[in-house]
Amino acid sequence: MKPFSLKRVEKSDLLLIHRLNEGCVPHVNSIPVDDFKWYLNVLEHFYKVVDDDGLLAGTVVMMKPDLDYESVNYHWFVERYTQFLYIDRIMVSAAYRGQGVASFMYERLQEIAREAGHLSLCCEVNVKPKNIASLALHEKIGFRSVGTQLTENGTKEVTLLMKQVS
């Protein structure tokens, strides 16, 4: 396994990250590349994971609870909690799955959240359609369900997860 590093996304990464996103559907929603441009311009926490050769292994988008962002899952957490970072999407390239990329990302994200004074990390994982691998990873690293909700006119159901980091 190659060592990984977490770096801020740059404009030159956006098309590759968009392709990665589209390859991870339905576990993440399909979004236009312009959304990634917005992330780059607005978000403090938009990261890529690269291997020691600089190749993209994954990416993560995190948000503080003070944004004008249209997401029913994000707003579910905003209405109930403060001092958290919301993981909007986390993706691992197919070539790197099973190599510890997601575990590496979550270790670093917990450090980032603690350093910034946030109490927890929050996210959601699909239970309809079921994302078995993601559910197992989140349970293994200590995330706990704090709720569920139906989205997309009932065609999707998510479990809303939280992990205390401080």
Helix axes 101-115, 132-140, angle to 10 degrees: 50
What is the predicted pLDDT for the residue at 1? 52
pLDDT at 144: 98
Query: In angstroms, rounded to a whole number, what is the distance separating the alpha carbons of residues 22 and 10?
Result: 19
Per-chain mean pLDDT for the chain:
95
pTM over 0.75, yes/no: yes
pLDDT of residue 27: 85
**Local structure of residue 130 (DSSP, 8 states):** B
Report all structural domains of the chain as residue ranges with CATH numbers, in order of start: 4-164 (3.40.630.30)
pLDDT for position 2 = 61
Which residue ranges of the chain lie beneath pLDDT 70? 1-2
d(CA 117, CA 54): 30
